[in-house]
Amino acid sequence: MKNLIVHAKRLLAAALLAPALVLASAEGPQLDKAPLSKDPESLKRGATIFVTTCMACHSASFMRYNKLTEIGFTEAEIKEKLLPPDKKVGDLMTIAMRPQDAKKWFGGVAPPDLTLVTRQRNSELGSGADWVYTYLRTFYRDPTRPNGWNNVVFPGAGMPHVFWELQGEQTAKITKHPDGTESIELVLSKPGSMSAQEYDKMVADVVSFMQWMGEPIAEKRKSIGIWVMIYLAVFFALAYALKKAYWKDVH
């Protein structure tokens, strides 16, 4: 515990001194809080980036394109800006990449479906949205990796840094401490076309959309849960009445 505090202090000091991102990896990487937004404009920007960039590799197969009307797109906009030519607005947001090809291309791992990833990555370190927000901002150059990139929260990830032209290139300074802990400091060695603030905001839009995408299903599940409870209550009442009717003559 003491180590942790010392460590946290050191991290704080480093964070104040350098405009770099500093993360510890020994106690598990620190996750940055995702500044989630419910603003339809932010969700729409996020959805556009998700469909045009992420869906080159990932599906969101529990989603349908026409569900995007719930965040403010019109069907005409969906058709014009988002829909691939071979899809209809009522179709699921699947992609055509075959898993066996994907595995070949990405060093043995296929890009997973992302519909629920912001919930699947929930952990004691932070919410799944925090994880994805940190993940998309902590890619760094690593010549030992087959695709040239590594990631602080997902070491050895098979995904390349898809936004490197926007964020620029980060390199990692890894410091091993005498107490066995290790900290990774990311330095922006080659700037991208966006400032750090612009980049964080863009990533926040994408993650806000992904959070929204995972949620409607949670809502639906809650309402299904309520119907199940009502059904059980009615069933119990009926069964009880029936039991009483059966045993009426016996007693």
> x/- string (CB under 6 A) for ligand HEC, residues 196-215?
----------x---------
The verdict on 111 binding ligand HEC (CB under 6 A) reads yes
DSSP 159-205: S--TTHHHHEEEEEEEEE-TTS-EEEEEEEEEE-SS-HHHHHHHHHH
Q: Does 123 bind ligand HEC (CB under 6 A)?
A: no
User: Taking the complex as a whole, how short is the minimal distance between the CB of residue 100 and ligand HEC, in angstroms?
Assistant: 13
Smaller CB separation from ligand HEC, 24 or 157: 157
Cα–Cα distances in angstroms (integers) from residue 40 to residues 47, 55, 77, 206, 213, in the given order:
10, 20, 14, 12, 13
Cβ-based nearer residue to ligand HEC, 15 or 217 = 217
The least distance separating ligand HEC from the CB of residue 230, rounded to whole angstroms, comes to 35
- DSSP secondary structure letter of residue 125: T
- Per CB under 6 A, the list member of 117, 172, 202, 204 interacting with ligand HEC is 117
* CA separation for the pair 96, 58 (Å, rounded): 10
- The CA distance from 161 to 139, in Å, is 6
- 116 is an interface residue for ligand HEC by CB under 6 A: no
Among 11, 15, 109, 166, binds ligand HEC (CB under 6 A): 109
Q: Which stretch binds ligand HEC (CB under 6 A): 83-91, 112-120, 164-172, 175-183?
A: 112-120
